[in-house]
Amino acid sequence: MVSFNRRDILGGLAAGAVAVTPAFGAEHDFKYLGLAEPPLAIDAPELDIPDLSGTIHRIGDYRGKTVVISFWATWCPPCRKEMPTLARLNRELGQERFAVLAVNVGDREDRVRDFLQKIDHDALPVLLDQDTKLASKWFIRGLPVTYVLDAGGRVIYGAIGERVWDSPAMISGLKSLS
């Protein structure tokens, strides 16, 4: 019998998502979109961190919604490039059945705010993991790393590296999950 632990699933999930993007794919083919599926869905680790206004966010706050959680940093060029696509994805999906969260890993708040002033980030919740406590809980091995959670708070897809989150195919695929 094969057994998996949280490290195997989360660490391998994001790492495996790098090489799964073929040149062509069908609508709602998540491998085509660059998302890897874990061998089994597991409960997401806790967030329990504040956003820029000081509000604490927890995984349980989003039960009943499909959630996209992206881990990023201001010093990371691919992260910087994909942030506006996450904001547009959040606006496109709406907040009734979906949530998109951008978790900054390790930057000072003033640096995050300075970066955000330069990009389109309207309506995108930006959370601050200034002491990088989530990096080990979520098995972050590089940035950006993004996980998709189902309505029950289980990790169902992951990706490492930059994605175009507001592409029509990605939006359609994510909408098919809820």
What are 93's two structure tokens? 């999906």
Task: State which amino acid sits at residue 106.
Answer: G
Q: How far apart are CA 149 and CA 108, in angstroms?
A: 27
Q: Within 13 Å and on the Cβ side, how many CA atoms surround 118?
A: 8
Structural domain range at position 95: 6-175
Per-residue confidence (pLDDT) for residue 30, from 0 to 100: 81
Q: Is the pLDDT of residue 26 over 90?
A: no
1 domain-assigned: no
At 7 the pLDDT is 54
> What would you measure as the largest C-alpha separation in the chain, in angstroms?
51
Least confident of 52-56, 63-67, 127-131, 174-178: 174-178
What does residue 67 show for φ and ψ, rounded to 5 degrees?
Answer: -120, 135
CA distances from 64 to 24, 59, 103, 113, 158 (A): 32, 11, 20, 30, 19
CATH number where 78 lies: 3.40.30.10
What tens digit of pLDDT does each residue of 35-75 get?
888 887 789 999 999 999 999 999 999 999 999 999 999 99
Tokens coding 60: 């349980």
pLDDT at residue 8 is higher than 60: no
pLDDT at 132 over 70: yes
> Does residue 167 fall inside a structural domain?
yes
pLDDT, residue 87, reads: 96
Number of domains within the chain: 1
Q: Assess whether pLDDT exceeds 50 at residue 145.
A: yes
For residue range 68-94, list pLDDT tens digits in order. Answer: 999 999 999 999 999 999 999 999 998
Let me know if residue 156 belongs to a domain. yes
